[in-house]
Amino acid sequence: MTTINNQLAAMNKTHLWHPFTQMKDYNESDPLIIERGEGIMLIDVNGRAYYDGFSSVWLNVHGHNVPELNQAITEQLGRVAHSTLLGIANVPAIELAEKLIHIAPQGLNKVFYSDSGATGVEIAIKMAFQYWHNRGMKEKTAFITMNQAYHGDTIGAVSVGSIPLYQEVFRPMLFPSHVIPYPYAYRHEGGAAAAKEAAISALRHLLETRAHEIAALILEPIVQGASGIIVMPPGCLREMAALCRKHDVLLIADEVATGFGRTGAMFACDHEDVTPDVMVIGKGLTGGYLPVAATLTTDEVYNAFYASHEEQKTFFHGHSFTGNPLGCAVALANLKLFEERNIVEGVKAKAAFTRHKLAMLQERPHVGDIRQQGLMIGIELVRDKETREPYNWTDRIGYHVCQRARELGMLTRPLGDVVVFMPPLVSSEEELEAMIDILTKSIIDIT
Ligand code: PLP
């Protein structure tokens, strides 16, 4: 067994190039190799079990190796694993589209599939761009994004993102976007109200002066994820949506991270009764099982593409695996479990329990801010709590806390100095408590 594991470890280092990873660091470390999953645990090749404290990068809903989800895939496998959506349909893709329209904010009536959050975003921005083009308003080509936004890693998605670290090298390949402030209350002198006002007034100014050249505003509704789990002050999303509507600029809600119950509502937009013009979903769409994403839109957007072939208004976009039947079948089974197990209501109760348990951490000398929306939690660590002075980036404080958590039996990944806690939505109170204990001990040990 050990020999096989050693071989695997050697092959991993020799042949694999891991995403978002400095391979030199990785190859000098002790890489973890997962063999299987059981409930909310991931088990490595040596048989050691770890809590999946970040839902395998924010997507797991019902845990791993779920009989109902496994069965949905197996049954579909007995019919057909893949068939294209280019001019042909398949049963699960149709059924899933109908289901998604039913649960999405009212007014979103069309579903365009893809296979990752980034491709879903890519579709959203191309759709918004061509929407205005097809309507003869060809000058509306620019996008507005929010400071430190993350929308994925394809060139278009990076162009409408605004995390400098991910953009710098590629700058010559990117198209420029307008960037407005994101309301980061903890790091804004005036707190939440002033942070919100700064964001809203920047958007208002931009729209009043340049709406004629702007196609869409793209944002992560209610919670900005990769920037450090930063929760918007109440009312912000609704006001931004109203401004976009007033100035005839589309609103693209990127719900890749926030969708499917994660924030305590099926979609984050539901918290403020907002229907965006375009909504991107991924991650939890299949319960975190298979790579399926989708871009939803309104009849109004769809109708701008609906014309005779000669008018050349077709949306020329698609991927080989668009609408994959296995993925759609497991997504349908996932949504069935959402209903049967009342997952969204469960998240609300679990979020309250978690908030209560995490409150103790607030007393720790290096815990600056604990941000939480549903089961999306970020703990910002600071060198000096009084002045909110951040750690030096070379301290890699978040990284070290997460490494300690792994030693203690829980997996998660930091976002700079922010320790992320995003347990699978089905985690029980006992499991949440055990994970919070590990998190607490890791923070105490390292800071
Ligand atoms: N959009 C948001 C808000 C995300 O958080 C992510 C990934 O974390 C993406 C898009 C990209 O999704 P994917 O990694 O599936 O391409």
The neighbouring-strand residues paired with 253 are: 219, 279
| Burial state string for 11-32 with b = 16 or more CB within 10 A and e = fewer than 16 | eeeeeeeeeeeeeeeeeeeeee
User: What's the pLDDT at 432?
Assistant: 98
With 0-12 / 13-18 / 19 or more C-beta atoms within 10 angstroms meaning exposed / middle / buried, residue 383 is middle
- Condensed to tens digits (0 to 9), the pLDDT of residues 70-121 reads 999 999 999 999 999 999 999 999 999 999 999 999 999 999 999 999 999 9
Confidence of residue 195 (pLDDT cuts 50, 70, 90): very high
**pLDDT top residue among 332 and 2:** 332
Distance 321 CA to ligand 1 centre (A): 18
pLDDT of residue 274 exceeding 70, the answer is yes
User: What's the pLDDT at 347?
Assistant: 98
User: What's the pLDDT at 1?
Assistant: 63
CA dihedral 3, 39, 116, 403 (to 10 degrees): -60
User: What's the pLDDT at 2?
Assistant: 78
Measure Cα distances from 72 to 44, 120, 286, 293 in Å. Answer: 25, 24, 11, 18
Task: Enumerate residues 6+ apart whose C-beta is below 8 A from 408.
Answer: 438, 441, 442
- 118 among annotated binding-site residues: yes
Angle CA(434)–CA(437)–CA(443) in degrees, nearest 5?
145
Output phi, psi for 359, to 5 deg. Answer: -55, -35
116 lines ligand 1 (CB under 6 A): yes
Distance 214 CA to ligand 1 centre (A): 23
Identify whether the C-beta of residue 61 lies closer than 8 Å to the C-beta of residue 261.
Answer: yes
- Condensed to tens digits (0 to 9), the pLDDT of residues 313-333 reads 999 999 999 999 999 999 999
Distance 31 CA to ligand 1 centre (A): 24
Ordered DSSP codes for 43-71? EETTS-EEEETTHHHHT-SS-BS-HHHHH
121 lines ligand 1 (CB under 6 A): yes
Nearest residue (by CA) to ligand 1, atom 1, is 151
Distance 283 CA to ligand 1 centre (A): 8
Percent of the chain with pLDDT over 90: 98
pTM for the full predicted model? 0.98
256 lines ligand 1 (CB under 6 A): yes
Q: Which atom of ligand 1 is nearest to the CA of 258?
A: 3
Is domain 70-340 given the CATH code 3.40.640.10 in the classification? yes
Nearest residue (by CA) to ligand 1, atom 5, is 257
- 195 among annotated binding-site residues: no
User: What's the pLDDT at 115?
Assistant: 97
226 lines ligand 1 (CB under 6 A): yes
Nearest residue (by CA) to ligand 1, atom 7, is 152
Domain residue ranges in the chain: 32-62+342-446, 70-340
> Mean pLDDT over residues 159-172, rounded?
97
Distance 180 CA to ligand 1 centre (A): 20
Rounded to whole angstroms, the Cα distance separating 32 from 46 reads 10
Q: Which atom of ligand 1 is nearest to the CA of 149?
A: 3
- Condensed to tens digits (0 to 9), the pLDDT of residues 357-414 reads 999 999 999 999 999 999 999 999 999 999 999 999 999 999 999 999 999 999 999 9
User: What's the pLDDT at 4?
Assistant: 78
Q: Order of strands, edge to edge, in the sheet holding 414-415?
A: 367-373, 376-381, 418-421, 414-415
ipTM above 0.85, yes or no: yes
Biggest alpha carbon–alpha carbon distance for the chain: 67
Residues 32-62+342-446: name the CATH superfamily: Aspartate Aminotransferase, domain 1 (3.90.1150.10)
Identify whether the C-beta of residue 159 lies closer than 8 Å to the C-beta of residue 174.
Answer: yes
- Condensed to tens digits (0 to 9), the pLDDT of residues 411-440 reads 999 999 999 999 999 999 999 999 999 999
Identify whether the C-beta of residue 145 lies closer than 8 Å to the C-beta of residue 214.
Answer: no
- 400 among annotated binding-site residues: no
- Per DSSP (E only), the strands in 83-198 are 108-114, 142-146, 178-180
- 320 among annotated binding-site residues: yes
User: What's the pLDDT at 3?
Assistant: 81
